[in-house]
Each structure stands twice: as structure tokens, then as C-alpha cells.
Amino acid sequence: GEAPNSMNEEGIMGDIYEKVRQRLDMFPQGFPKTASGVELEILRRLFTPEEGEIMLALRPSVEPASVVAARLSRDAEEMEKLLYEMSKKGLIMRIRTPDGQTLYNLAPWIVGIWEFQLKNLDQEFAKLKERYAEEGMIPERRKAKISGFRTIPVEKEIIGAAEVEPYEKVSEILNAHTKFAVAECICRKERKIMGEGCDKLMEACMILGPWADYYIENGFGREITREEAREIILKAEEQGLVHCSSNQKGAKLFICNCCGCCCGVMRNVNKYNIPTALTKSNYYAKVDPETCTGCEICVDRCQVNSIQVQDGSAKIEKARCIGCGLCISTCPTESISLVRKEKDDIPVIFPDPLALVQAIGKEKGKAFPFE
């Protein structure tokens, strides 16, 4: 149908933002309704009413602007400009095909629109997002068992293991790509704006492959080489940051370097005691009490509070350990090692991003992809 002319009328505007919310909520990651309506405040801040109308015509699968224009009975050239501007604002995704075609599709709230707001972050926006997390996203997360986020262990700590999967090795994840970008960590940036958080590495989010193009062209991040990406990984390990990526085997499009005080996912594990917010690695840390001196260096390194020193020796709560290996790399007596889990204890990893999102959707009763 035709877009309404009187877009400035309050009723129609309210209506358009609720429709945009519903559209985002169709993603398995969700964008739930709250009693306070804080999510509509976020959408009003992000989308103009016209952008909201256009967003409703997009699909989760990529397509050229001409197809969207036809769907809305709009001019194709004008639609190309509008979609490009929306993608520059981080409201929708844009990818370039090898033959130079530009395609557009919907982005979920997380991982997606929120992460793309690096340049728009101020205290008011950070407070709105936190309120929405508390009222809308965290209650949903408590019910969910499947996490899209997975720990990647410190590579040098698993070298001796008999079976190291490619998805467990940062080097293999980097080798699968030729294009790399690094961006500020949205989580640490948000906490800093709120006057909280830590002073760990800010430029720590690595974007890979087709997403790297999007970040570089939008000015969300800067282009780096594979070698620079490796250096950032080592710096992150030094600072005690946990490598995380998507919980799937195929080519991954990002590597996060996370801390327990700022990271949205790890804060869910720590603050709200939601262990299912993060998929653990295929390993767990084990202490040799004979050589451990109880120095507590590992206690400070652990981002999920799984280590305590009791009776002069470190004790690791196996159920809480995420298998990152950060406690091992700085142990002065080499008393900690990563042990591969038994086959039945190894967390499920999905074959590709679609299978992952479909599994999250199935758990919530949402079909993906949707029309």
C-alpha cells in the first residue's frame, strides 16, 4: 500500500515505531515489548518515520534497492540513496557482491543495530539501552538455553591437545579471511560513558570479511592487516580479555575481546548469574594443587569469577569455567592446564550462521528466515 502522507501525526508515528519493533522482534534474537515502552524511545531516536516505513519493506535476506523500490512503488534511484543512507546510519545491513552489486537487508537489534551505533553513543542513549536490557532483553535471556556467543580459548594453551577444532583456533578464524577491520568495543564504550567499566583495550572488536567492508566504509572501524589483527589478539590476551565469536563452525565475521565488567554477555553471566548467556569452549581449566602456591594471579585474570584460593591453593568451579585459558598464561608455577572435555560434555556448535539463528528461533518458537 501507499505510505501515509501525514507521517508527522503522532498516532501514525507511534504506530510506525511499534511496527518496526514487531519487525525486529521477528528475529530469533528478539526485540521484546516492555511495559514502559523504552524500546519505542530507542527506535524514535534511530529511525525517522520514513526510514521506519522503508525498513518494514526489507527482508532478512539480501536484495538490491530496485526490488525494495518496486515493493513500495518508489523510484529505484531514490531508493538506492535512501537505503545507502540508512545503512550508513547502521539501521540496516549493506553488502557488496564480488561483481560490484550493492545489496541490502534487515539487521537484528543484537548483534546488529546496537553494535553499529558506535558514533551515536552518548549518556542518554546508553541509559536507554541499559533500561531496555533490564526490562526487555535480560528476562528473555534468562529463559533461553542456546547462546549465539562462544568462548575461543587462548590458542597457545591448547596446542598440545590431540583434537583441536578449527573453530577453537583464533589463527584459523583469521586465516579464513583477507579483509579485516578493528572497531571500538561498544560495551566498554557504553560503560565508560556511564562512568563505569574498566581501562582495558578499547579498540578491540575485530570485524572480518564482508562485514569489514561495511565497518570501514561507514567509518565504524578502521582497516587493519591480518598481522595487526594477530597483534591485537595477543594484546587482548595480555590484558586478560576473553576471545569470543559466533557459536558456528563456518567462517566467522567477528572476534570480540571481552571483559567481565563491561561485556553485555559476560555481565549477564556474572551480574545476573545466567551461565547459558555464553557457550563455553571445549576445554576447562584444572589446577595441580601440589605445585600451586595460591598467589591469586589467576583469580584476577578470571572474567567469570570461577576461581577462589582456599587452603593455600586455587580452586576452579568447573561448572562456571568457560575454558578461555587466561588463567594459564600468567600462572608463575605453571600449575593450571586446559583439559579437553569428554565427548558428551562438549557444547553444541552449529554448522553455519543460519543453523545457529534457526536453532535460537526454534527454542523461542520463531521461524527464520521470515518474510
Coil, strand or helix: which one is 200?
coil
Q: Which pLDDT tens digit goes with each residue over 283-310?
A: 999 999 999 999 999 999 999 999 999 9
Dist. CA 55–CA 72, nearest whole Å: 11
Taking the C-alpha atoms of residue 211 and residue 222, their distance in angstroms, rounded to an integer, is: 12
What's residue 14's pLDDT? 61
| Rounded-to-integer distance, Cα 29 and Cα 260, Å | 22
Q: Which of 328, 333, 332 is nearest to 240 (CA)?
A: 328
What is the per-residue pLDDT for 162? 62
Around 99, how many Cα atoms within 13 Å sit in the side-chain half-sphere?
2
First CA to last CA across the chain, in angstroms? 17
CA–CA distances in Å: residue 141 to residues 249, 266, 276: 23, 12, 8
Q: Tens-of-pLDDT digits for all 371 residues of the chain? A: 444 444 454 455 569 999 999 999 999 999 999 999 999 999 999 999 999 999 999 999 999 999 999 999 999 999 999 999 999 999 999 999 989 999 999 999 999 999 999 999 999 999 999 999 999 999 999 999 999 999 999 998 886 666 778 889 999 999 999 999 999 999 999 999 999 989 999 999 999 999 999 999 999 999 999 999 999 999 999 999 999 999 999 889 999 999 999 999 999 899 989 989 999 999 999 999 999 999 999 999 999 999 999 999 999 999 999 999 999 989 999 999 999 999 999 999 999 999 999 999 999 999 999 98
Three-state DSSP class for residue 319: coil
Helix or strand holding residue 77 (H, E): helix 76-88
Query: φ, ψ for residue 220 (rounded to 5)?
Result: -80, -25
Cell of 21: 519493533
**What Cα–Cα distance (Å) separates residue 171 from each residue in 134, 156, 159, 221?**
36, 10, 12, 21
Write out the DSSP string of 277-297.
GSB--SEEEEE-TTT-----H
What pLDDT was estimated at residue 1? 44
Crossing angle (nearest 10°) for helices 210-218 and 76-88: 90
- Whether the CB-CB separation of 214 and 104 falls below 8 Å is answered with no
Candidates 145, 148, 151; CA nearest to 276 is: 145
What is the pTM (predicted TM-score) of this model? 0.92
Q: What is the pLDDT of residues 107-165, one digit of tens each?
A: 999 999 999 999 999 999 999 999 999 999 999 999 999 999 999 999 988 866 667 78
Question: What's the pLDDT score for residue 282?
Answer: 95
b/e per residue 291-329 (b: at least 16 CB within 10 A): ebebeeebeebbbbebbeeeeebbebeeebbbbbbbbbb
Place of cell 516492555: 34
Angle between helices 76-88 and 49-56 (to 10 degrees): 110
Determine the Cα–Cα distance for residues 211 and 99; give it in Å rounded to an integer: 17
**Residue in this structure with the C-alpha cell 539487521, named with its chain if needed:** 107
Nine-digit cell string for 177: 579471511
Q: 132: exposed, middle or buried (C-beta count within 10 Å: 0-12, 13-18, 19+)?
A: buried
- How is the chain split among helix, strand and coil, in percent rounded to 5? 45, 15, 40
> What is the per-residue pLDDT for 161?
63
